Amino acid sequence: MAKWNLPGGARIALSIVVNVEEGSEMSITQGDRGPEVVDELGVALHKPVRNYANESNYLYGLKAGAPRIMKLLDEHKIRATFTAAAQALEKAPDLTKAIVAGGHEVCSHGWRWVHQFHMDEEQEREFIRKAVSSIEKTTGTRPTGWLSRYLLTDNTRRLLVEEGFTYHMDDFSDDRPFWDTDYEKPILILPYALDSNDMKMWTAPSLTPADWLQYAVDTLDWLYWEGKDDPQMMSFGLHLRIIGRPGRIGYLEKFLQHVTTMPDVWIATRQEIAENWMAQNPAPQ
């Protein structure tokens, strides 16, 4: 196992990931075959009609959810990684300004929040380049990391290497970074996590916010215990339209209160975690 030392002798690197997808989801107004199928009610319309109700649910993330999340991050002096679909940032300039002003990292979540798996190589390359160009224009900084909308292609990681990305998040196989050397140049994998993600409250409606909080705290506490000997990384995924609801946001506050009172926890952006790992474990030749 690769040796890993965290700043200040911390036991765990906590990566808070805020997904910004609202405004870039599937819509027939943007030429898609149908409306967005990810819906809190589970109403997947496979017809070429507008789902005005679900569109308003996504809009809620920008209008009401985002301000609540940004307020909590600011109050706790936490810098997060915002995995953002480029188009979503273009449509939400106030949120984009707040993300930049807060010193947060923006990781690319694609040009739009759509699947890449149906794209051929040139389409996917253009999709990646379009996302990079847009994010650099809206934030002033080129993204160094990438997260797909869950499904990717056999070409994705190679294209990310060719386009100069430092790290890739589409992996769930570990609680520590590692190198993928299957390409001309190695790329660092910063594994993500689905089990501690607030999306569970949409996909598993029986999971209450209190259940989700307890699971997140249990995850943190266990990795913290393991980190006494070998530091671990925890990914904690959030969505504007999900955790930003008034009946859920208080549970995010409780988690932040818990973690910020613990010693030896390094809350860092994914770019910071990547740089820390690479400094100690350079890419294999």
pLDDT digits 0-9 by tens, 191-211: 999 999 999 999 888 899 999
pLDDT digits 0-9 by tens, 218-275: 999 999 999 999 999 999 999 999 999 999 999 999 999 999 999 999 999 999 999 9
Domain ranges of the chain: 7-280
b or e along 261-274 (b: 16 or more beta carbons within 10 Å of the residue's beta carbon)? eeeebbbbbbbbbb
pLDDT of 125 strictly over 80: yes
pLDDT digits 0-9 by tens, 166-180: 999 999 999 999 999
| Three-state DSSP string of the chain | CCCCCCHHHCCEEEEEEEEECCCCCCCHHHCCCCCCCCCCCCCCCCCCCCCHHHHHHHHHHHHHHHHHHHHHHHHCCCCCEEEECHHHHHHCHHHHHHHHHCCCEEEECCCCCCCCCCCCHHHHHHHHHHHHHHHHHHHCCCCCEECCCCCCCCCHHHHHHHCCCCEECCCCCCCCCEEECCCCCCEEECCCCCCCCCCHHHHCCCCCHHHHHHHHHHHHHHHHHHCCCCCEEEEEEEEHHHHCCCCCHHHHHHHHHHHHCCCCEEECCHHHHHHHHHHHCCCCC
- What pLDDT does residue 41 have? 82
**Which CATH architecture does the domain made up of 7-280 adopt?**
Alpha-Beta Barrel (3.20)
